[in-house]
Amino acid sequence: MNKNNLKLAVQKNGRLTENTLGFLRASGLEFESYSRKLFSACRNMPVEILYVRDDDIPRLVESGAVDLGILGQNILNEERPKVKKLLNLRYGYCSLALSVPKESPINDISGLNGKTIATSYPRSTQQFFQKYGVKVETITIKGSVEIAPSLGLAAAIVDLVSTGSTLAMNDLRLLTPIYRSEAVLIANEKLGADTEKNPVLRQLITRFTSVLSAKNYKYISLTVPDTSAPRLTKLLPNLVMTALPGQRLSVNGVIKEDMFWTVFDRMKDLGAKNIYMLPVEKIIS
């Protein structure tokens, strides 16, 4: 490893790993990753990627052992390290949620007063119940938290929920979400003072933000009768129109995906045909 390279810690194995590696590659980083590999040196930037346990990332970044880390907001909320959050990365969405057995008579938070809660997030759990003035005991379980009510260890659990399928499989039901989480990029607080690494950091942030910007946009291509041009221009003012044979126009450009679906029916009413919507890889402004 080169001490002058920017070091980025990511989750070695887990729910964020595949999406994180995909995001880094979409940002133009070229590197190899294998299940037993501890770190990768990027071929096209002075960046090294370290593969570690997700709950080790906050300490590694806080201590300066690595410069950057990608992890879930849930870990930041629980560990509360002294780091800078640079970006929300818009993947790995989930919620920390309070759940009870399907047959439980408890239907609100107050019904858990004096009860025991099983969780992998004791600090977040205590803070949540303190907010509502409900006194509970917490037991910390690392993994398989859902089994605790069946074993008689707890009346409820607090754990991450993505689709809710795990709750259903374990005869649990959602009582209330506590907070939402997604993947985030964090940095050591002193990284800004490192003049050698700053240019690389700026390049990396530019690449990351260009990929994030592109997620909201689509490239569209369609044809319309030339008589529809004035109304289509009002509808989508930033698209490029080119004359075609047969009194039709070729229309191309980049728009937000939600805008596309908002105006889709009106485009059809204007005679739009041959409509294509394609992903945009990056937007650099």
Residue identified by tokens 């689709």 is 163
Domains of the chain, start order: 6-92+182-214 (3.40.190.10), 94-180 (3.40.190.10), 217-279 (3.30.70.120)
* 184, burial (CB in 10 Å: exposed 0-12, middle 13-18, buried 19+): buried
Residue-level pLDDT at 285: 65
Residue identified by tokens 């039709």 is 248
Angle at 254 between CA 248 and CA 258, to 5 degrees: 105
Residue 120, token pair as written in the block: 């992998």
- What is the Cα–Cα distance from 188 to 81, expressed in whole angstroms? 10
Residue-level pLDDT at 150: 92
- What is the Cα–Cα distance from 100 to 170, expressed in whole angstroms? 10
* Tens digit of pLDDT at every position of the chain (285 positions): 777 899 999 999 888 999 999 999 999 999 988 777 888 999 999 999 999 999 999 999 999 999 999 999 999 999 999 999 999 999 999 999 999 999 999 999 999 999 999 999 999 999 999 999 999 999 999 888 999 999 999 999 999 998 778 888 889 999 999 999 999 999 999 887 777 788 899 999 999 999 998 888 889 999 999 999 899 988 888 889 999 998 999 999 998 888 888 899 999 999 999 999 998 877 776
Residue-level pLDDT at 68: 97
